[in-house]
Amino acid sequence: MPGKSKRKVLKQGSSTVVSIPADYRRYHNLEPGKEVTVLYDNLLLIIPKDQEKKILEDPEKRDLIKKILEK
């Protein structure tokens, strides 16, 4: 389910937030309170908690994530 969208950084209380696109939320069943893993460097990657093990155990995906985050 590839996609692309532009988002604005919003102020919420004393924090800032960026919303997750509705299509992504629905596809991964991300309801308020569900946990995600956020990997970041120059790129921000959000992984639904129930997909993390599957993604990081895939050598191709793990190596790609490592390469992206190290640049």
What per-residue confidence (pLDDT) applies to 57?
92
Residue 48 has pLDDT above 90, yes or no: yes
Q: Please, which residues have CB within 8 angstroms of residue 17's CB and are 6 or more apart in sequence?
A: 9, 10
d(CA 53, CA 15): 29
Spatial CA neighbour of 51 closest among 41, 61, 42, 43:
61
What per-residue confidence (pLDDT) applies to 71?
63
Tell me the domains of the chain and their CATH numbers: 10-70 (2.10.260)
What per-residue confidence (pLDDT) applies to 3?
87
**Average pLDDT over every residue of 43-53:** 90
pLDDT in tens, 1-39: 788 999 999 999 999 999 999 999 999 999 999 999 998
